[in-house]
Amino acid sequence: MSENRMRARRIENYKEYIRNILSNRDIDCDETWWDSEEAQKALNLLVRAEKWEICSSVQMGIDSSENFLFLKFTEDSGSLLAALEEEACRLADMPESAEKNIYVICIVDNMKSRVFLERLFLSAEGKTMKKNIRKEMKAWKGTVNFLYILDNSYNEQDIKLTSVNRFEFIQMPPMKCHINWENKDEAEGSNRGYVTSVHLYQLIDIYNRIGDKLFKRNVRYGLNEQLGVDRAIKDTLRNNPGEFWFKNNGITILVERPDFRLDRVEEVLLEHISEYGDLHFSVINGAQTITASAQCLYEMEYDLKECKNKGEAEEAAKLEEKIRQSKNAKVLLRIIHIPHSAQAAESEADSTREVNEISVALNRQKPIKAEDIAFASPFVVKLAAFLEREQMNGKRYFRLVKRGEGNIARRTVDLVDFARARKACAGYPGDARSKGTNVLLSSRN
């Protein structure tokens, strides 16, 4: 692919990433900025960056309810934090920036670069940078947030899953013939589904090679994580990788190329992709699992490298074993095949509509709130059991109930009301009235 063509394609991808970020944060901005001279200049600077480059939403002409800094990062020359602080303070000092948070969108080529940036922002120098930026926000107590986009300029290659056996797949609709025979009754172009288990590390590796384009059909990707799910995923993968399959809902991959077949004995070819080309498959459910797991594994590899550099042989050996076990973790995988015919505009529109309906349906979940998580904690489980047991023994105790169950029986209290009452009785009536649910239900081991 020529350099100019590659650059033009990357610019289009950057536009799509930014559109998704704004959309997922319910920011309604005027999209005419894409064609402005300022926006094109800023996007070209990001794409051409050799080490790093920073552009702001003001430079791009984005009029939104938040301020954005776009950082394209390849390597650190030692002055990145100072430059980032200068740009962020310039944004915060603008008259139109009153009560606007700052989001730093970090575009990286691979997971190693992402982990490096995360550790840099968590370092003493990084914390000082964020403190100085918040000072510039003056009376407005705004926040500085970091989001990451992985955009890898991959080469032509096969994207496949290995160490899988065809006979282990469950197919929907079920096969009406022997596993090694072609199913003649199957309608041409019909949708099919397959279920199996794979090593999670294979999906992490595919993500590291392809980047966030892997999630192009995922309607929820890019939303803020608020319930500690990322932390739970990492904890299981790091400390109990053998339990990962049991504690995770699994991954769903949508394949749209018409010629997709399970025609190999020990591997599944998802697609042969061209150099930085378009993909005909996407993870439509499980993006959070893949990104959090990738972050966990590459953090451990980063720590391993640090231990070896410091000569800490014993700690390095422990980390190597932990990484080996984590790479053996398995996850449930569902592959949905919807043949996407590009021959007619009508069939293409129908296919796109069907794909979007499936993606929305898989991601339309009943929202889980902080009290739902807290109700399942060991302390609350024991307290609820004690109160119920005492009530059954004839004592006039109340009973703790889950969210939405308060009207089922008399003398019931939900967890948030209980926490507020407990806070007031402990001598903090102001906190009982004003503190949010997450603060009231926070816990310590």
Q: What is the distance between the alpha carbons of residues 240 and 84, in angstroms, rounded to a whole number?
A: 38
pLDDT number for residue 227? 45
Closest to 233 measured CA to CA, from 161, 319, 291, 303: 291
Question: Which range is most confident: 9-23, 216-230, 336-350, 413-427?
Answer: 413-427
Element (H, E) at 180: none
Cis geometry, peptide bond prior to residue 173 (ω within 30 degrees of 0):
yes
User: Tens digit of pLDDT for each residue in 149-168?
Assistant: 999 888 889 999 998 887 78
- The torsion of the CA quartet 210, 211, 217, 221, rounded to 10 degrees, works out to 160
pLDDT at residue 345 is higher than 50: no
Q: List the structure tokens of 36.
A: 């402005």
Question: Of the given ranges (199-208, 279-288, 307-316, 429-438), which has the lowest mean pLDDT?
Answer: 429-438
311: left (phi over 0), alpha (psi -120 to 50) or beta: left
Q: In sequence order, what are the residues at sequence separation of 6 or more whose Cβ sits closer than 8 angstroms to the Cβ of residue 431?
A: 423
Question: Which range is most confident: 88-97, 308-317, 371-380?
Answer: 308-317
pTM of the model: 0.77
Element (H, E) at 268: strand 267-273
Q: In sequence order, what are the residues at sequence separation of 6 or more whose Cβ sits closer than 8 angstroms to the Cβ of residue 143?
A: 101, 102, 134
Q: How far is CA 123 from the centre of its chain?
A: 23
pLDDT greater at residue 86 or residue 431: 86
pLDDT at residue 428 is higher than 50: yes
pLDDT number for residue 177? 54
Identify whether the C-beta of residue 335 lies closer than 8 Å to the C-beta of residue 253. yes
Spell out the long-range contacts of 97-102 with Cβ–Cβ below 8 A and sequence spacing 24 or more: 97/67, 98/140, 99/140, 99/142, 100/65, 100/66, 100/67, 100/140, 100/142, 101/66, 101/67, 101/142, 101/143, 101/144, 101/145, 102/66, 102/67, 102/68, 102/69, 102/133, 102/142, 102/143, 102/144, 102/145
User: Tens digit of pLDDT for each residue in 263-282?
Assistant: 888 899 999 988 777 788 99
Among residues of the chain, what percentage have pLDDT more than 70? 82
pLDDT number for residue 138? 72
pLDDT at residue 212 is higher than 70: yes
Q: In sequence order, what are the residues at sequence separation of 6 or more whose Cβ sits closer than 8 angstroms to the Cβ of residue 156?
A: 272, 273, 274, 275
pLDDT number for residue 442? 78
pLDDT number for residue 293? 96
pLDDT at residue 343 is higher than 90: no
pLDDT number for residue 223? 45
Closest to 412 measured CA to CA, from 395, 432, 397, 427: 397
Quick one: pLDDT band at residue 444, thresholds 50, 70, 90? low
pLDDT at residue 366 is higher than 60: no
Buried b / exposed e over 86-101, threshold 16 CB at 10 Å, is ebbbebbeeeebeebb
